[in-house]
Chain A
């Protein structure tokens, strides 16, 4: 890969119709770059779960992806309510999703665990009332 690639996407709150477009676009970009289908899927799951978190919990936000020859790095930034207990939030099955999100098939309490499982590096910085920044890295 000659030059690192930076991608940024704005994600709207509570918009379940367009949610997933950013993740889909990122996955297509990775495929075009010739990145292995396994890494494409892992990056897509990370981005999609993080994107849905922005839609459902974060009040919208931004996805920032950096791709270079060593890694795919995905960050999400929101100014939402923050996560009061991160340890609890990354436990499988724990959820605070709304009824509407559940009706759409989300809120299984697997979002953050899925991100963590697919990432080589997984970090969350969060402050209640300020927002959340998530960083996930896949090493190539």
Chain B
């Protein structure tokens, strides 16, 4: 036990003697939270529309003004040439073309139906889908107004109306930031944990100090624990710091028990840190360790459900994702912080992390060799 304490003491000294370490621990999280939370958003705002109004009637202008009045749209230009509008789209100055054909008003009044065309840039399928949905909503709304205008109250009475009422749970204001902060915090703890531990043993190999340790009678468990615990403490501290920043800057909700968050985090950190140490034992230089860590980090993070919904991934990817520790912890964070879930609700994710921690820690201890 005393041996472990001596290693922990040494690691802490080294971490904090490294001048770039304190900024990494304190400044990076704040910046990451501010930048990522504000930038990484799916909310659609300022969809730039190029209008081609070939009808130029009161009716067509009302339709355009509907778009103009919506906070989601920005009328970029109005013209008479579809070709010009298409050029704008190619240049990237417009996201969508709204084309109103000539005789729009006439057809609508005479025949009761008329056509308009939306041309949407679908390079990003997800935002194209949203743009289409928003535009259709506006059109429906417009239809209803036209209907009201052109029918008598007597006719209206005959119409039956089905109305849907809705309310959003857990995030009633649909605040995207609330959703992002817990995920970004996981990202932060993961990066710090994986990089610090991933570089650690391999650094001693590069310097040659590992040999000096390997000639001592220290055993593997003492060595790995001594290497792991300092980063475990730093990781938990980092999470506490990030949660405080999230609360102060973004006023994120903390519905559930914070103790549950830290309990899960302490298990999660064991997974990440032993993963890092494992990488450290199978690589030979810090550069290799860095590249391998990055590979796993990119895959884990992109598949973690932070940016994209896991439920919409193909089945094989969802199965593969069961091996992704980041996914479990992001779920736990969101469930506990936003929904106020209790232990029973997160227990499946929690125990998955426990199994993962036991396996990766065992592997790291087995992989570390004192004798070559």
Partners in one complex: no
